[in-house]
Amino acid sequence: MYSISIIIPAYNEEKRLPNTLDKINEFINENNLKTEIIVVNDCSIDKTADIVKNYMSKNDKIRLINNEKNMGKGFCINRGFSEAKNDIVLFSDADLSTPIEFLIPFIKNHEMGYDIVIASRAIKGAEKKVKQPFIRDIMGKIFNLLVKIILGLNINDTQCGFKSFKNKVAKAIFAKQTIFDFGFDPEILYIAQKKGYKIKEYPVDWYNSEGTKVKAIKDSFKMLIALFKIKSNYKKGIYN
């Protein structure tokens, strides 16, 4: 069985992190996994760091990385991946909208030869157990359509916050990353596709969680601009 590094980007997550860390730790123990958990604190102004430190005092599997200033989700994940030591590196949103139990089929897909496994809410077998607001659902579908049109990326759901990579593959891809906010997912997957890595889109259960950090209009516009930046970067040879 592969060893696993779990990366959790966190910004003002004092309310959700305790439940998330408890669930992950229970899952690790039940499945006897060799695991490290890396929480990357994006300069939170609440007690996020204190909560993680408290868990660290009781659990040597947990590590904390503090950003010196707020850098964005994509930066946090990049930094966590750069520190990851184990065979497979998974990043999960701090709210566990995708249950940690899906890590088991993800590992099995890596064992079958896939370099990258990504959670999907948009393929057969996926189920949205708790749905997000209608407008966000529609905007998400439009964005993923634009990803296909602009980038030619053959993926139905780029934005679900639960993705795993073989460590060597991750380090090769994230070294080329140029987008560090919520638009980073399409870039990472685009680089992976262009480099010929094997990507598996896996259907998951998904539970919308209140308190999302995504600003529907502002971040959607920035993510759209990111798609054209990705295309431009490729033409300039930045991803070579």
Write the pLDDT tens digit of every residue in 85-125: 999 999 999 999 999 999 999 999 999 999 999 999 999 99
Whole-prediction pTM? 0.94
Q: Comparing 57-61, 135-139, 189-193, 221-225, which segment has the lowest mean pLDDT?
A: 135-139
**Closest C-alpha among 81, 3, 8, 98 to residue 51:** 8
The parent domain of residue 134 ranges over 4-236
Name the percent of the chain lying above pLDDT 70.
97
Write the pLDDT tens digit of every residue in 12-43: 999 999 999 999 999 999 999 999 999 999 99
Packing angle between helix 167-174 and helix 73-83, nearest 10 degrees?
130
Whether 216 shows a pLDDT value over 90: the answer reads no
Instruction: Report the domain count for the chain.
Output: 1
Cα–Cα distance measured from residue 220 to residue 222, given in angstroms and rounded to the nearest whole number? 5
Task: Return the CATH number at 71.
Answer: 3.90.550.10
Cα–Cα distance measured from residue 55 to residue 22, given in angstroms and rounded to the nearest whole number? 9
Cα–Cα distance measured from residue 109 to residue 176, given in angstroms and rounded to the nearest whole number? 25
